[in-house]
């Protein structure tokens, strides 16, 4: 701890003359893995580390793990100064305090993450939600750079989102705005993991794509043979990734599942276009990475269906930072945050 | 024109000492009628006038009509000063210029409404969209007073909406944000009047309620007898109002139509709750006024289905300004706008 702090203090005097060489640290804290990296001002991930997340349910284990990862990165920074640290966590975050209020994927309820980690590291931190960090990365350094009105939709196992409107990231009363995966696209549709039915995520999220394929395979063994084979004959091991792969190779059952997901994504993105009037809708996440043609199909549908005034300048594009969006975005968000507060070089 | 201008100029010197007595003029410009009124700072509509909209397709006729209405109101202001004038038009408005870019209900395409009316009246004007004006009214002087995060949904013939997030009204890239009626709630659902299918408006808007009732009556003459009777036996004359009335009196066919609309409103409002995390969802418009119990039913559904963090502080309430929201809101918006610009007493 003392070592890390000393290093930072030692480098501070240089900052006026070497402001271009200050690196920030970004951390993507998920339920299964933690990725942390040194990020330059222009958004390059210079050095990254990845670990399995320790200590399900015990946040103190994660604090210990994070502090070790941060100190390791500070050591790797060589002659660069290390500035602000940003964490994007798979959690609901209390605005202002940086406390986690709910994190089902980490097994935490309330935990003052920012406060505890600042105590251990002796360094100021920004804690935000992981999807919001990734969205911030795409906005400042990725596919949304230079735009003031954006809707970001990340289609992974679940579906997360974030909205930039007139140059401001929407937070809402509970600091949870942007939960676009839980937009109802089908009244009376399949049960979601949230309390609702027919959510976008319940049709087009990775878990829903896998589940729907499993249902269809059980009903149509012949048509499902290729997928089942990929899963070594175990229907429960069919994944969204397998569905994307086989659909792209022409498998009809997999294509049917993807078609349903595309219809839901078109419905959702049309709704987002009409509600927010973005200049760009940015699609990212594992399902999009696994089936890049989805972007053009969604764009085609939205262009046909959204209101003409909204469609005029609208583009639907793929996210450009890929899996690094969370780390780069958390680092960028911290840099901007502490720069505004005058606590750190921007 | 000169008369109006002189009157204003004559009264200006008094403004420092009588700032509480400055009235603004609000105008609700629709395709079938125009309502204009004198509005006090605290949002009371002191004197209103209502006329059929003249000149379908010729905006110059409407400019003439509006200028006569404004001069009449200035004369009625007696000893009060008349300050800013705000117009909420059933149109898409270009941000900054106050020009109408599209107004299907008025039969206009492009028309520089603010510029032309300022020329004729010699007074500064604010021109905005009618739904946005009503939303601003509810926010500043109605059911949303004192809140920073609001979603407003007006269920009339169509469904309009507006969103306030962290104390700012969302506009979006095309200045059309808040088109919440065109949120897809049912993939593959009924055709909307917009290019999309299964929109909230296509199930729960007044026109859709009437259409759905007409369809069901055609299929079930016996169950539809009460509604058909109300419409003097002409199925095409069945209105949403009739459906609301007979549903409240226990008619099963009408209740079925309303139940479908409620399910769509719950789906839509759950989506809005998750996307925006508002403190309040405010429901207004003719259908809500005609069936006030809808508010409690929608609140019950949203409370069950939206994300727990969002539901915690969320309230779903009825709009409080009723039909006057557009006039009061346009006046209030103009007052705030010109006060910020330092052009007029606030």
Angstrom distance (rounded) from CA A63 to CA A65: 5
Of A182, A268, A305, the CB nearest to B195: A305
pLDDT in the model for residue B78: 86
Which tokens sit at B24?
């603004």
Q: Is A57 in a helix, a strand, or coil?
A: coil
Length of chain A: 346
Q: Does B205 touch chain A (CB under 8 A)?
A: no
Q: Does A94 touch chain B (CB under 8 A)?
A: no
Which of 307-336 (B) contact A at CB < 8 A?
307-310, 312-314
Angstrom distance (rounded) from CA B6 to CA A329: 58
Is the pLDDT at A74 greater than 90, yes or no?
yes
pLDDT in the model for residue B79: 85
Of B179, B272, B305, the CB nearest to A307: B179
Rounded alpha-carbon distances, angstroms, from residue A75 to A6, A80, A91, A277: 11, 10, 28, 45
Rounded alpha-carbon distances, angstroms, from residue A318 to A245, B152, B330: 18, 32, 40
Angstrom distance (rounded) from CA A213 to CA A207: 10
**Dihedral-angle region of residue B175 (phi above 0 means left; psi in -120 to 50 means alpha; beta otherwise):** left
Rounded alpha-carbon distances, angstroms, from residue A227 to A140, A206, A223, A286: 39, 15, 9, 19
pLDDT in the model for residue B342: 64
Which tokens sit at B330?
């346009």
pLDDT tens across the length of chain B (346 residues): 333 333 333 333 344 444 447 899 999 999 889 999 999 999 999 999 999 998 677 899 999 999 999 999 999 998 888 989 999 999 999 988 999 999 988 989 899 999 999 999 998 899 999 999 999 999 999 999 999 999 999 999 999 999 999 999 999 999 999 999 999 999 999 999 999 999 999 999 999 999 999 999 999 999 999 999 999 999 999 999 999 999 999 999 999 999 999 999 999 999 999 999 999 999 999 999 999 999 999 999 999 999 999 999 999 999 999 999 999 999 999 999 998 876 543 3
Q: Does A267 touch chain B (CB under 8 A)?
A: yes
Predicted confidence (pLDDT) per residue in A175-189, tens digit: 999 999 999 999 999
- B286, burial (CB in 10 Å: exposed 0-12, middle 13-18, buried 19+): middle
pTM of the model: 0.91
pLDDT in the model for residue A345: 36
Secondary element (H or E) of residue A255: helix A252-276
Q: Is B192 in a helix, a strand, or coil?
A: coil
Helices and strands (H and E) in chain A: how many: 13, 12
Angstrom distance (rounded) from CA A227 to CA A217: 8
Q: Quick check: B184 and A180 CB within 8 A?
A: no
Contacts of residue B223, Cβ cutoff 8 Å, sequence gap at least 6: B216, B217, B252, B253
Which tokens sit at A91?
């959690």
Residue A129 phi, psi (nearest 5): -75, 145
User: What average pLDDT does chain A have?
Assistant: 91
Of A197, A268, A277, the CB nearest to B173: A277
As a whole number, mean pLDDT of residues A109-135 equals: 95
Provide the pLDDT confidence category of residue A16 given band limits of 50, 70 and 90. Answer: very low
Question: Which of B315, B202, B308, B312 minimizes the C-alpha distance to B269?
Answer: B315
Do the beta carbons of residue A197 and residue A188 sit within 8 Å?
Answer: yes
Predicted confidence (pLDDT) per residue in A166-221, tens digit: 999 999 999 999 999 999 999 999 999 999 999 999 999 999 999 999 999 999 99
Query: For residues A346 and A45, which has the higher predicted lDDT (pLDDT)?
Result: A45
Provide the pLDDT confidence category of residue A41 given band limits of 50, 70 and 90. Answer: very high
Is the pLDDT at A17 greater than 80, yes or no?
no
Q: Does B258 touch chain A (CB under 8 A)?
A: no
**In chain A, at which residue ranges do the beta strands (DSSP E only) sit?**
22-29, 33-39, 45-52, 81-89, 92-93, 100-102, 125-129, 150-155, 159-165, 168-169, 280-284, 315-318
Provide the pLDDT confidence category of residue A104 given band limits of 50, 70 and 90. Answer: confident
| Chain A residues in contact with B279 (beta carbon < 8 A) | 173
pLDDT in the model for residue A342: 64
Angstrom distance (rounded) from CA A134 to CA A322: 9
For A311, name the nearest residue in chain B, comparing CA atoms only: B174
Do the beta carbons of residue A139 and residue A145 sit within 8 Å?
Answer: yes
Query: For residues B104 and A244, which has the higher predicted lDDT (pLDDT)?
Result: A244
pLDDT in the model for residue B16: 42
Q: A177, A180, A199, A260: best mutation site toward chain B, by most B Cβ within 10 Å?
A: A177
Is the pLDDT at A266 greater than 70, yes or no?
yes
pLDDT in the model for residue A346: 31
Which tokens sit at A188?
């009376």
As a whole number, mean pLDDT of residues A46-68 equals: 92
For A279, name the nearest residue in chain B, comparing CA atoms only: B173
Which of 128-157 (A) contact B at CB < 8 A?
148-149
Length of chain B: 346
Min Cα–Cα distance to chain A from B267, Å: 6
Q: Does A195 touch chain B (CB under 8 A)?
A: yes
For B314, name the nearest residue in chain A, comparing CA atoms only: A173
Angstrom distance (rounded) from CA A163 to CA A119: 32
Of B173, B203, B278, the CB nearest to A278: B173
| Chain B residues in contact with A194 (beta carbon < 8 A) | 305, 307
Which tokens sit at B112?
């520089």
Which tokens sit at B244?
């609301």
Of A171, A187, A271, the CB nearest to B264: A187
For B280, name the nearest residue in chain A, comparing CA atoms only: A173
What does B260-277 look like in DSSP terms, one character per residue?
A: HHHHHHHHHHHHHHHHH-
Contacts of residue B129, Cβ cutoff 8 Å, sequence gap at least 6: B88, B89, B90, B91, B92, B93
Q: Is B54 in a helix, a strand, or coil?
A: coil
Q: Does A221 touch chain B (CB under 8 A)?
A: no
| Chain B residues in contact with A151 (beta carbon < 8 A) | none
DSSP state of B53: P
Min Cα–Cα distance to chain A from B15, Å: 35
For B261, name the nearest residue in chain A, comparing CA atoms only: A187
Do the beta carbons of residue A305 and residue A266 sit within 8 Å?
Answer: yes
């Amino acid at each position: 701890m003392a070592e890390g702090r000393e290093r930072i203090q030692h480098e501070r005097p240089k900052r006026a003359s070497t402001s271009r060489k200050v690196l920030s640290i970004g951390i993507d804290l998920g339920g299964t893995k933690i990725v942390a990296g040194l990020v330059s001002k222009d958004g390059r991930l210079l050095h990254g580390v990845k670990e399995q997340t320790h200590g399900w349910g015990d946040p103190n284990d994660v604090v210990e793990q994070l502090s070790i990862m941060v100190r390791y990165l500070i050591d790797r920074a060589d002659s660069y100064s290390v500035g602000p640290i940003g964490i994007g966590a798979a959690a609901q975050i209390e605005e202002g305090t940086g406390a986690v209020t709910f994190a089902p994927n980490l097994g935490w309820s309330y935990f003052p993450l920012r406060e505890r980690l600042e105590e251990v590291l002796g360094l100021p931190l920004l804690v935000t939600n992981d999807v919001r960090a990734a969205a911030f990365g795409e906005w400042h350094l990725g596919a949304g750079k230079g735009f003031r009105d954006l809707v970001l939709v990340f289609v992974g196992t679940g579906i997360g989102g974030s909205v930039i409107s007139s140059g401001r990231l929407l937070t809402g009363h509970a600091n949870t705005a942007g939960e676009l995966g839980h937009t109802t696209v089908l009244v009376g549709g399949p049960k979601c993991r949230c309390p609702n039915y027919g959510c976008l995520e319940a049709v087009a999220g990775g878990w829903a794509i896998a589940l729907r394929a499993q249902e269809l395979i059980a009903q149509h063994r012949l048509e499902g043979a290729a997928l089942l084979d990929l899963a070594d004959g175990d229907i429960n091991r069919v994944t969204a990734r397998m569905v994307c792969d086989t659909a792209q190779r022409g498998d009809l059952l997999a294509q049917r599942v993807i078609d349903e997901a595309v219809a839901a994504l078109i419905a959702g993105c049309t709704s987002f276009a009409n509600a927010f009037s973005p200049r760009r809708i940015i699609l990212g996440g594992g399902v999009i990475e696994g089936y890049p043609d989805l972007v053009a199909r969604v764009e085609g549908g939205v262009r046909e269906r959204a209101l003409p005034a909204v469609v005029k300048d609208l583009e639907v594009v793929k996210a450009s930072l890929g899996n690094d969006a969370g780390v780069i975005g958390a680092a960028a968000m911290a840099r901007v945050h502490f720069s505004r507060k005058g606590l750190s070089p921007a």
